[in-house]
Structure 1
Amino acid sequence: MSKDLVLFDFDGTLTTKDTLLDFTQFSLGKGRFVKGMLRLLPSMTGLKLGLIPNWKAKEEYLSHFFGGISLEQFIALGKEYGEKRIPQLIREKALSSIIDYRETGVPMYIVSASSPLWIEHWAEKYDIKVLGTQLDVLEGRITGKIDGKNCYGPEKVKRIQENIQLSDFENIYAYGDSSGDKEMLQLATQCFYKYF
């Protein structure tokens, strides 16, 4: 077993942009995306001003764009997004590091505030496991609510500790690019901020 473990944030770290917004536009088209964003302007403004917590703004966003869509359809959209779009967004230096880690057999995890449902299809090609924000599903449909907590900040560390036996590893390498990755970076033996 490898003595090393690698933890990646996804949005902005491995990718050049936020994938929640990009996935929405990819799935629903630019027209519906722009129209929806105009309707969500009050909550987006509240988020930017710190008046609305991140998770609440995210639930309003998900409810508006994806509330009521079948889980089956959402998974299919995530698979298509992983196939066609994510490869265009991955930073070249990040992909090179991923390939190097994979060749040496180092276990890799993406720990993201985004849903694994649009990351996993791409990630599994590189043997990367995904921990992320779980979406609530009722009677086979996305409700737009978050199941549990938004995988952001301290919650990232909680997910890591719940899913990985950290004592099995001597070296933990973590990569992030924002304040939401701070706790995960502090967990590592070596951390890399905006490295790619």
Structure 2
Amino acid sequence: MPTDPNMTALALFDFDGTLCKQDSFTGFMQSALPKHSFYRKCLKISPQIAAYYLKLYPANRMRPLLFKTVFKDENAHKVHLIGQNYAKYLVEHCLNPEVLARLKWHQQQQHDVVIVSASLNLYLQPVAKLLNVELICTQVDADHHVLTGAYRSADCSCKEKVCRLKQHYDLNTFTKIYAYGNSHEDIHMLKVATHAYWINQKHQLQPFLG
């Protein structure tokens, strides 16, 4: 819940394609392992990958499968360190300047600012810390410092974004809700906003018309 009783505005930012100009999820997979190891593991799920690129296999099923294939039985501490370095790279080189300016404006207005993303806590937690914002995202599971390959929470996309938001915030307490997104996975979140914005394929900000 918001900690400031006088706070009446909430600002929600998707990450991949919105605040970040690139696909951070796939980029993280590729940065965490040597290329030959990454591609060798991906060969195991090549039919699903092909179906995904043909739009026959949904992203909210592809992400958990890819994560399990790449990271099952990897050392959690090592992957967290990779995530911290990757977060610094994203913040320094990959953020959309126009959307970042909006995020900073919301902070100046003392709005409650939250990244809401289907991407992973392994690197989004340090990103959120660097940007001084709150975070709702997909959480991964570890057992005795080893990644199990499973998600600890549902893939945080589509309707799940709104479900997770409602677990953390009473949306009725806000007089204004701003939301920023760029894909069909953000539409449910955009529709709960009083002020919704779409980031187009040129990475430009425009009003979301529903």
Q: TM-score when scaled to structure 1?
A: 0.90
- Within the candidate set 106, 109, 116, 2:111 is matched to 106
1:129-140 alignment, distance < 5 Å = 129-140=134-145
Does the alignment pair 1:69 with 2:74?
yes
1:153 Cα shift? 0.4
State the alpha-carbon separation in 2 of the partners of residues 82 and 131 from structure 1: 16
- Within the candidate set 167, 170, 173, 2:172 is matched to 167
3-state secondary structure, aligned to 1:114? strand
Counterpart position of 1:90: 95
Counterpart position of 2:20: 15
1:167 Cα shift? 2.0
Counterpart position of 1:57: 62
3-state secondary structure, aligned to 1:105? coil
For structure 2, list consecutive stretches of 5 or more residues without a partner in the other structure: 1-5, 206-210
Letter of the structure 1 residue corresponding to residue 141 of structure 2? D
For structure 1, list consecutive stretches of 5 or more residues without a partner in the other structure: none
What is the alpha-carbon root mean square deviation over aligned residues?
Answer: 1.8
Aligned length: 196
Range with greater deviation from structure 2 (128-137 or 41-50): 41-50
Q: TM-score when scaled to structure 2?
A: 0.85
1:156 Cα shift? 0.3
Counterpart position of 1:158: 163
Pair 147,190 (structure 1): closer, same or farther in 2 beyond 3 Å: same
Q: Which runs of 4+ in 1 moved over 4 A?
A: none
- Within the candidate set 2, 7, 11, 2:7 is matched to 2
Matched residues, percent identical?
28
Counterpart position of 1:189: 194
Counterpart position of 1:80: 85
State the alpha-carbon separation in 2 of the partners of residues 38 and 17 from structure 1: 23
- Within the candidate set 144, 149, 174, 1:144 is matched to 149
Pair 166,125 (structure 1): closer, same or farther in 2 beyond 3 Å: same
3-state secondary structure, aligned to 1:125? helix
The C-alpha deviation readout for 1:162-183, integer Å capped at 9, x for no partner, is 0112122100000000000010
1:88 Cα shift? 0.8
Counterpart position of 2:3: none
The C-alpha deviation readout for 1:124-161, integer Å capped at 9, x for no partner, is 22221111111122232212222231111000000000
